[in-house]
Chain A
Amino acid sequence: MNQLTLLITSSILGGFLTIFLPPLYDGIHRKIKARIHCRVGPPVMQTIYDLGKLMVKDDIVPEGASSLFLYAPYLAFSYLLLTSIMVPMIYLRSAIGFTCDLILILYLLSSSTIFLALGGLGSGNVFAYEGARRELTMTILTELAAIFSLISIMIRCGALRMTEIYEKISMIHPVPSIIIASGVLLACAYIEGFRLPFELPEAEPEISSGIIIEYSGRRLAAFKLSVFMKQFLLVALAVNILEPWSISNLILGLPIFVLKTFIVYLVFAILEPLFARFRIQEALKSILTICGISIISLILAGLGV
Chain B
Amino acid sequence: MLLTVFALFIIASLLGAFLPSIRWRSRISCILSSIASIILLYASAKALLGSPIRQTIFSGLASIPLELDRLSALFLLIFSIPYTLTSIYSIKYIEDEYVNAGIDVRRHSICFPIFLMSMMGVILVRSGLWLIVFWELMSFTSYFLITFEHGKREVRDAGFIYFIMSHIAAALLIVTVISLASWTHPPSFTYSSLRDAYHRSPLPALIGLPIIFTIAMWIKGGIVPVHFWLPRAYPAAPSNVSALFAGVMEKVPIFLLTYFTFRIFDPTILSGLLTCIPGIISMVIGCLYAIPQRDDKVLLAYSTIGQVGYIWFALGAGILLYSYSRSLALLAIILISSGLFHLLNHSLFKPMLFTITGNVLIKTKSRDMDVLGGLGRAMPITSIACLIGCLSLIGLPPFNGFASKWSIYVSGIASSTVNMVSIPIYVGVALAMFSGTLTAIYSLKFYSEIFSGESRIDVEAGDVSAIILIPELILGILCIILGVFPGVAFSAIFPAVQPMIPEVDLAELFKGVGFLYSILMIPTMLPLSTMYFILLAAIAPIIFVIAYQLAHPRRTSIQPTWLGGFRHVLRDTKLVAASFYSEFESMLGSFYQIRVRRPRIAYPEPNADLVLVKPWIWIGRALGELRRIQVGPIQIYVAILLILLISFLLMGVIG
B-binding residues in A (CB < 8 A): 58-66, 68, 70-71, 74-75, 77-79, 81-82, 85, 96, 98-100, 103-104, 107-108, 110-111, 114, 117-118, 121-127, 129-130, 132-133, 136-137, 139-140, 143-144, 147-148, 151, 154-155, 158, 160-161, 208, 213-214, 217-218, 280-281, 284-285, 288, 298, 302
Contact = CB atoms under 8 A, between A and B. Distances in A.
A208 to B, nearest CB: 7
Contacts of A218: 545, 549
Contacts of B433: 144, 147-148, 151
B553 to A, nearest CB: 10
Interface string B247-281: 00000000000000000000000000000000000
Chain A to chain B: the 4 pairs with minimum beta-carbon distance, closest first: A99-B518, A62-B561, A98-B527, A100-B410
A280 B587 CA distance: 11
B458 to A, nearest CB: 15
B586 interface: yes
Interface core residue of A59, A82, A155 (most chain B CB under 10 Å): A82
Interface string B536-560: 0011011001100100000111111
Given A78-B539, A151-B433, 11 more contacts: A58-B556, A58-B557, A79-B535, A98-B521, A99-B519, A103-B410, A122-B376, A137-B584, A143-B440, A147-B437, A284-B587
Contacts of B542: 74-75, 77-78
A101 to B, nearest CB: 9
Interface in B551-610: 555-564, 569, 574-575, 580-581, 583-584, 586-587
Interface stretch (B1-9, B94-102, B413-421): B413-421
A280 B527 contact: no
Greatest chain A CB density within 10 A among B376, B441, B541, B542 is at B542
B426 interface: yes
Contacts of A160: 410, 413-414, 515, 519
A81 B374 CA distance: 31
A158 B417 contact: yes
A288 B453 contact: no
| Interface core residue of A77, A103, A126 (most chain B CB under 10 Å) | A126
A130 B441 CA distance: 15
Nearest to B573: A126
Contact of B559 (A60, A155, A280): A60
Contact of A161 (B396, B406, B518, B530): B518
B31 to A, nearest CB: 34
B184 interface: no
Contacts of B493: none
B538 A140 contact: no
Contacts of B52: none
Nearest to B399: A111
Given A114-B440, A124-B453, A160-B410, A59 B557 contact: yes
Contact of B440 (A59, A110, A155): A110
B549 to A, nearest CB: 7
Contact of A118 (B444, B518, B562, B580): B444
B561 A64 contact: yes
Contacts of A77: 542
A71 B546 contact: yes
A125 B583 contact: no
B394 interface: yes
A101 B448 CA distance: 30
11 contacts: A59-B549, A68-B387, A74-B546, A78-B541, A107-B406, A118-B452, A124-B453, A126-B574, A137-B584, A144-B437, A285-B587
B575 A121 contact: no
A133 B558 CA distance: 25
B377 interface: yes
Contacts of B444: 114, 117-118, 121, 136
A37 B128 CA distance: 79
A111 B528 CA distance: 17
B619 interface: no
Contact of B374 (A64, A110, A208, A288): A64
A126 B417 contact: no
B558 A61 contact: yes
B454 interface: yes
Nearest to B585: A137
Interface in B6-44: none
B595 to A, nearest CB: 20
A302 B424 CA distance: 12
Contact of B538 (A64, A82, A111, A155): A82
Nearest to B556: A59
Contacts of A129: 453, 575
B454 A124 contact: yes
Contact of A96 (B530, B541, B587): B530
B451 interface: yes
B499 interface: no
B564 A78 contact: no
Given A74-B545, A77-B542, A82-B534, A111 B397 contact: yes
B406 A104 contact: yes
B287 to A, nearest CB: 11
Given A82-B535, A144-B434, A160-B410, A61 B397 contact: no
Nearest to A159: B515
B383 interface: yes
Nearest to B443: A114
Contacts of A122: 376, 452-453
A111 B437 CA distance: 11
B481 interface: no
Contacts of B406: 100, 103-104, 107
Contacts of A126: 454, 563-564, 569, 574-575
Nearest to A96: B531
A185 B583 CA distance: 23
A99 B410 CA distance: 8
B538 A81 contact: yes
Given A96-B530, A124-B454, A151-B413, A63 B559 contact: yes
A142 to B, nearest CB: 9
B409 interface: yes
A85 B560 contact: no
Interface in B191-239: none
